[in-house]
Amino acid sequence: MNIGLLGFGTVGTGVYEIINKRKDFFRSLIGKDLNINKVLVKDTTKDRNINISKDKLIDNPYFILDDPNIDIVIEAIGGTAEAYAYIKHALTTGKHVITANKAVVAKHMKELMDLANKNKKAFLYEASVGGGVPIIKPLKQQVTLNDIEEIKSILNGTSNFILSKMIREDLEFTDALHIAQELGYAEADPTDDIEGYDVRRKLAILSTIAFKREVKEEYIHCRGIRTIKSVDTKVIKELGYTVKLLAKASFKSNKYYLSVEPSLLPDDSFYAKVENANNLISIIGNDIGELKFYGQGAGKFPTANAVVSDVLDILYNNYQNYGIDEGTYKLCNNTDLVKDRYYVRLSPKHTLSDYVLKVVKEEKIADKIIKTGDHIIFTTGNIELKKINSFINNVKESIKDEFYAAIQ
């Protein structure tokens, strides 16, 4: 069984090392050799800190994609346009495909699944959500037995690390982000992580499987963590809470509610104890109840391990590309289905502080009001998001751009 590996970065080298290290075990397990016999790299002459024959390195992806001796293609180059083109080409030419590329899976999931089904090949992507946390395969199994009612998850190690540092050490967001970048938790451009886009892609993938409907990224209400300040984390701690970037999807009354946003959680909750790069994914089925999946959501070997688990499913012929229902359905992104409690900070100019405080009291949506410095902070009872948004817009309109509002 021959594998072509597209990309030899963090994930690609991890996959290569795991397969080489356990080659004898795989042979005894499945009765055949498992070979990575071609690896796509940008520079075949580069010195690499890994034991690999130079003969395996190629710089033309079609030496893998069009090779009739290659059975499985593992895409590990990242990006979107090229990765999508290579995955589609490989499936079209009758190869099994494995990827960790959440951006491609979230955007093209239905098309690639349909293509894999047409050619009777596997399209597997366990590592695209949760890194080393096994969630895709268990979720596929559960949707055959259960109607999935809810998904609730912490799915991004970068944002989780930043929020943990802010809560524990009273740091400002920019300081915590800088530490995350120095330690390798955050990229030089952290936009996808801190604005919630990375989590939104992962939630789109999970929701598509769970609800058997094509869920696009743009369906999902999304807010990141950039607006959170140390004044917020201090007050949140005093209230007995912590804050996490949560991905939530639920199904009620034949409608779907999907969101990615910072959420307050009691200090003693299971989610509050998820630290650094760890992920927690909870699913609720009508018969099974709640299942929780916890583990490392990123890293070389956890992610590579998920890729290799997909390889084993192909070797055992233990895969199924589930179809996506094209029937009519209605998505509800933000208002009607879910009521929640909200944390709101208003930071008006000093001269307008009394006026804003008066408006907050008159609206009668606050169950607790805190005045600290130039900030007016309040929490609400269970109300609809559209009511909070309407309040913020009304205040903005009345005093124009004289304050900054943050909602958690």
Q: Which residues are catalytic?
A: 202
Phi (first) and psi of residue 244, to 5 degrees:
-135, 150
> Tokens in use for 18?
């795991």
DSSP classification of residue 219: G
3-state secondary structure of 141: helix
Edge-to-edge order in the sheet of strand 403-407: 366-372, 375-380, 343-348, 403-407
C-alpha to C-alpha distance for 134 and 132, rounded to whole angstroms: 6
Question: Please, what's the b/e burial string for 331-348 (b: 16 or more CB within 10 A of its CB; e: otherwise)?
Answer: ebbbeebeebebbbbbbb
C-alpha to C-alpha distance for 40 and 176, rounded to whole angstroms: 36
**334 and 385 in contact (C-beta within 8 Å)?**
yes
DSSP classification of residue 335: S
C-alpha to C-alpha distance for 190 and 225, rounded to whole angstroms: 11
